[in-house]
């Protein structure tokens, strides 16, 4: 099994004086030049774990790199975002990056009531995040591939919506970076193209153990 490595930009460090954005961009350029890395990632959170906004940073990274795939390690704010605006933003990112975007979404639930306080600003309970994530994914999928989209959902409803540009990648790849409740998980498995974090870790650990056994 070929293991692909990604590099995460430590963007929260800007808040703590341990790095500057020009330094972060240079780290991305170094990863782009290094064949060991096939992707560069940023983090995401609005208020639960504050950091510079992810889609804005990805636009800068798209211009600073030319080879690596680009994505959000876990888009915790995805359930909070307006799916029409987000579909438009992500399609534009895929255009300017020449089809290198990798969307990885999650519920954004954080223990200790942190995500609950954040969600309250949008009148969103933690128990709604999984279903909102699934509905937003369904909306994005349709907007990225259809015209004059009509949608009737639990949280969003609209008629006759078309977005331009379309993503370069068709379909635009989506990963679920979460361990949702069983019902939500079934919804997401019908909508995503990747594996959950737990499955990836399990597979990598199995690979490492097999390599170690052969080396004994």
Task: Output the CA–CA distances (angstroms, integers) from residue 35 to 7, 29, 31, 41, 206, in the order listed.
Answer: 12, 12, 8, 16, 24
Q: State yes or no: pLDDT of 209 exceeds 80.
A: no
- pLDDT at residue 197, rounded to an integer: 46
- pLDDT at residue 201, rounded to an integer: 45
Q: Which residue has the higher pLDDT, 180 or 96?
A: 96
Paired tokens of 191: 């909508």
Comparing 1-5, 23-27, 128-132, 155-159, which segment has the lowest mean pLDDT? Answer: 1-5
- pLDDT at residue 188, rounded to an integer: 45
Mean pLDDT of 180-204: 46
**Around 163, how many Cα atoms within 13 Å sit in the side-chain half-sphere?**
21
Residue 109: CB partners within 8 Å, gap ≥ 6? Answer: 115, 126, 129
Q: State yes or no: pLDDT of 161 exceeds 70.
A: yes
Percent of the chain beyond pLDDT 70?
A: 81
pLDDT band for position 17 (50/70/90)? confident
∠119-123-124 over CA atoms, to 5°?
50
Euclidean distance between CA atoms 101 and 153, whole angstroms: 27
Euclidean distance between CA atoms 12 and 32, whole angstroms: 21
- pLDDT at residue 194, rounded to an integer: 52
- pLDDT at residue 123, rounded to an integer: 94
Euclidean distance between CA atoms 29 and 39, whole angstroms: 11
- The 10s digit of each residue's pLDDT in 36-85 is 999 999 999 998 888 999 999 999 999 999 999 999 989 999 999 999 99
**Domains of the chain, residue spans:** 5-196
Mean pLDDT of 147-155: 97
Overall fold of domain 5-196? TIM Barrel (3.20.20)
Euclidean distance between CA atoms 140 and 187, whole angstroms: 14
Q: Residue 208: is it exposed, middle or buried by C-beta count within 10 angstroms (0-12/13-18/19+)?
A: exposed
pTM above threshold 0.85:
no
- The 10s digit of each residue's pLDDT in 26-38 is 999 999 999 999 9
CB 20 within 8 A of CB 27: no
């Amino acid at each position: 099994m070929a293991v692909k490595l990604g590099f995460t930009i430590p963007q929260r460090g800007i808040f703590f004086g341990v790095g500057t954005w020009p330094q972060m961009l240079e780290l991305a350029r170094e990863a782009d030049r290094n064949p060991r890395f096939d992707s560069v990632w940023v983090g995401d959170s609005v208020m639960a774990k504050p950091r510079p906004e992810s889609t804005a940073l990805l636009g800068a990274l798209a211009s600073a790199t030319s080879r690596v795939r680009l994505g959000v390690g876990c888009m915790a704010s995805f359930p909070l975002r307006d799916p029409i605006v987000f579909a438009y933003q992500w399609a534009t990112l895929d255009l300017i990056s020449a089809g290198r975007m990798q969307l990885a979404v999650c519920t954004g639930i954080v223990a200790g009531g942190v995500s609950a306080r954040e969600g309250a600003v949008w009148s969103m309970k933690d128990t709604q995040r999984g279903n909102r994530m699934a509905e937003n994914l369904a909306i994005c999928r349709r907007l990225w591939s259809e015209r004059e989209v009509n949608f009737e959902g639990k949280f969003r409803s609209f008629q006759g919506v078309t977005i331009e540009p379309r993503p370069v990648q068709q379909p635009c790849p989506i990963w679920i970076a979460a361990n949702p409740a069983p019902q939500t998980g079934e919804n997401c498995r019908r909508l995503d193209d990747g594996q959950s974090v737990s499955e990836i870790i399990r597979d990598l650990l199995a690979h490492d153990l097999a390599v170690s056994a052969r080396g004994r």
